[in-house]
Every structure is written in structure tokens, then in C-alpha cells.
Amino acid sequence: MAILVTGGSGFIGSHTCVQLLDAGREIVVVDNYCNSDPEALARVRELTGKDFKQYDADVRDREALRRIFTENHIEAVIHFAGLKAVGESVQMPIEYFDNNLISTLVLLEVMKEFGCKRLVFSSSATVYGAGNQPPLTEEMPLGAPTNPYGRTKSMIEDILRDLCVADAEFSAVLLRYFNPIGAHPSGRIGENPNGIPNNLMPYVTQVAIGRLPKLSVFGDDYNTPDGTCLRDYIHVVDLARGHLCAVDYAMEHTGAEAINLGTGEGYSVLDLVHTFARVTGVDVPYVIAPRRDGDLPAVYSCPDKAKELLGWETEFGLEEMCRDSWNWQKNNPTGYNK
């Protein structure tokens, strides 16, 4: 009995594979490496001392998925595979709908064919939209997504809720991630963005290592304590542990359940920059720049439901997130490229 991890070579997937293997679970990974490097999986093996089957395939490839389900006894799926860059999704909506929606539909069809009814899905806090006051709770009404990437997450949540109505035996855990940063404390796996990063922490670490000259802080005139936006940063190892709890929950329950994975703390952009400098001893030059379109002043979770249903709580704080992001960056200045 194995857990299929789609997108297992990516940032969150690779960390989750480590957690699953460390917990003694059997895993099978499928990835097409459109946004990752297979070296990540080699390092997962190195870190855990365990081996697993790895399929180099696109999740939209129905025959490849059938082969995976035929060759393995898959009891549950953790579905990370997808495209995730907000700005790129505005430029390339068709590619985003095609990749994210079709991969999910093909996966669900093949799961149905093989009688597999346990799914953990990577959703996002972006589904809450702009109309809710943080801390965000799972029963709040979902907002209209402002970009194609966010729309794919909302649409997939809807698809999974509909599926659970149609099939009373199906279990779908919709994990709404807040802002995952950090890296495995070993410094062997971490976030490896292509090109210039869009997200704050990889931008900060690339400034710190000297690959980029300075950080632009997008807006200091928000209605927040220091004027910069508040976000709920979560250590990727805590997030990965949440998937282990979610997969166990999915094994024992039916229906669709949305669950936040966040710390419940809102830190500002400048909190993060200053904590990073203090913890690492490396300065991060920055300038204040205009606001970025689509940014909300404050986004942070209420993490109570995850504690109640999954028995999961975060262990790491902002200092560990900064320490481990930097440890990964300085040991791998150009990511997985050796």
C-alpha cells in the first residue's frame, strides 16, 4: 500500500516525501519536472536512506497514470502537481487551466477506475479572496479569485466538494496553505525558483547571497503596524508534517474538508527582513517601492481547525524559517544546479 505524491519533486512535495518516508510510509512519486529538478528526489533518498518508485510523467497523461495505479497499490494521493506563479497565470491563463484542471480531472478519473478514494489537495489561502477579515477561518465565504492561478484552486475545491457529494465514500482534504518558506534543516532540499523569484523569501535569500542587488518592499502605507503587508509565514517542514496528518485523516473520514495550514501569526515584510538579518548576520538592502497589484494588507489564518481535526500544530517560528531558508540558499547558491 503506497501513497502517490504528484509533484513530489517540487518545494513542498520533496519536504513531504521526507516526512512520509521518515514516518515509515511507502511512497510513489510522479513529476514531469516542469518546475523542479529530479536532483531533489535524489536528495530525499539521501536524507531518509530510503528508496521509492519515481515516475517521470505528466499527470495529464492518462495512460501513464493507469500504469502507476496498475504497478502499485495506491491507497491515497497527495496532489501537489500544478503551476503556481500568480503573475505568469495572468499572462498564460490557458496553460494554467490546462495544467491544473486537466491534471486533477485525469487523476480523479484514474483514481475512480482503480477504486482509490482518498485525496489530499494543495489549495491556497488565495481562495479566501479580499472580502474577509483575518484571522481567516474555513467557514468564511470564499472570495472571487483575482487571477487564473487562484481560480484554478477555487475551481478544484468546487470539483472535489461536488465529487464528495456524488460519492459518499470519497474523502478530500483541501489544505489551504498560507505562505510556505524555510527549508529542510539539513540544507539539502529547499525552494528552487526559476528565474527571478516572485515571492518574498526567495527574493530575500537571493539578495543576501548577492545574486540580486536589493529587495523592493511593495508598499509601506498599508493600514498595518509598520505600513507593510502582514502574512502568515509557515515553515515548510511544519507544512509537510501537516500532510502526514491530513493523509491519516483522509483514511478515516469521508467527505470534503477544507483545513488551513498556517501559524496564525501575521508578520510584516519588514519583520521578516529584520529577523532574517538578525538571525543570519547578513544584511538585506531594500528600498520601499510602490504597492504590488492584487496584494492584500493582511492575510493570516486561524489554525484551530487543523489542531482540532488533525492534531497538528506548527513547531517552528520566523527565526527558524529565516535560518533554514538561508542555510539552503548558502549551501546551494544556484539551487540544484551543481
Least distance from C-beta 79 to ligand UD1, angstroms?
Answer: 16
264 binds, among ligand NAD, ligand UD1, none (CB under 5 to 8 A by kind): none
Interface of this chain with ligand NAD, residues 202 to 261, rule: CB under 6 A: none
In angstroms, rounded to a whole number, what is the distance separating the alpha carbons of residues 252 and 318?
Answer: 33
Q: Is the dihedral of CA 241, 34, 320, 307 positive or negative?
A: negative
Contact track, ligand NAD, 156-175, x by CB under 6 A = --------------------
Distances 310 to 7, 127, 242, 290 between C-alpha atoms, Å: 23, 21, 8, 40
* Interacting residues of 34 by C-beta distance below 8 A, sequence separation 6+: 83, 99
Segment contacting ligand NAD (CB under 6 A): 2-10, 70-78, 302-310, 315-323? 2-10
Least distance from C-beta 251 to ligand NAD, angstroms?
Answer: 21
58 binds, among ligand NAD, ligand UD1, none (CB under 5 to 8 A by kind): ligand NAD
Least distance from C-beta 139 to ligand NAD, angstroms?
Answer: 20
Q: Has 128 been annotated as catalytic?
A: no
Interface of this chain with ligand NAD, residues 27 to 86, rule: CB under 6 A: 30-36, 58-60, 80-84
Residue 113 near residue 40, CB atoms below 8 Å: no
Residues of this chain that interact with ligand UD1 (CB under 6 A) are: 84, 86, 124, 126, 150, 179, 198-200, 203, 215-218, 229, 231, 269, 292, 294-295, 299
**Positions marked catalytic:** 149
